[in-house]
Amino acid sequence: MAQRTTLIAGNWKMNASGEMAEVLTDGLKAWAGKPGVEMLVCPPFPYLGPVGAMIAESDIKLGAQTCHANASGAHTGDVAAEMLADLGCSYVIVGHSERRADHGETDSDVCAQAEAAHRAGLCAIVCVGETEAERDEGATLSVVTDQLAGSLPEGSPATSLVVAYEPVWAIGTGRTPTNNDVQDVHAAIRGLLCERFGNEIGNGVRLLYGGSMKPTNAEGLLALQDVDGGLIGGASLKAEDFIGIADA
Ligand code: 13P
E-strand stretches of the chain: 6-11, 37-42, 61-64, 91-94, 123-128, 161-165, 206-210, 229-232
At 80 the three-state DSSP class reads: strand
- CATH number for 6-247 (one of 3.30.420.10, 3.40.190.10, 3.40.50.1820, 3.20.20.70): it is 3.20.20.70
CA distance 175 to 223: 19
Whose C-alpha lies nearest to ligand 1, atom 2? 233
Mutate to test the pocket of ligand 1, among 130, 163, 231, 241 (most ligand atoms within 8 A of CB): 231
User: For the segment 207-242, what is each residue's pLDDT rounded down to a tens digit?
Assistant: 999 999 999 999 999 999 999 999 999 999 999 999
Residue-wise pLDDT tens digits, 68-125: 999 999 999 999 999 999 999 999 999 999 999 999 999 999 999 999 999 999 999 9
Residue 134 sits at φ, ψ, to 5 deg, of -65, -35
pLDDT of residue 32: 87
Q: What letter does residue 230 receive in the DSSP assignment? A: E
**pLDDT higher than threshold 80 for residue 2:** no
The verdict on the CB of residue 155 being under 6 Å from ligand 1 is no
Q: Using an 8 Å Cβ cutoff, are 165 and 207 in contact?
A: yes
pTM of the predicted model as reported, rounded to 2 decimal places: 0.98
CB 87, CB 121: distance < 8 Å: no
The string of pLDDT tens digits covering residues 46-65 is 999 999 999 999 999 999 99
Q: Does the beta carbon of 128 sit less than 6 angstroms from any atom of ligand 1? A: no
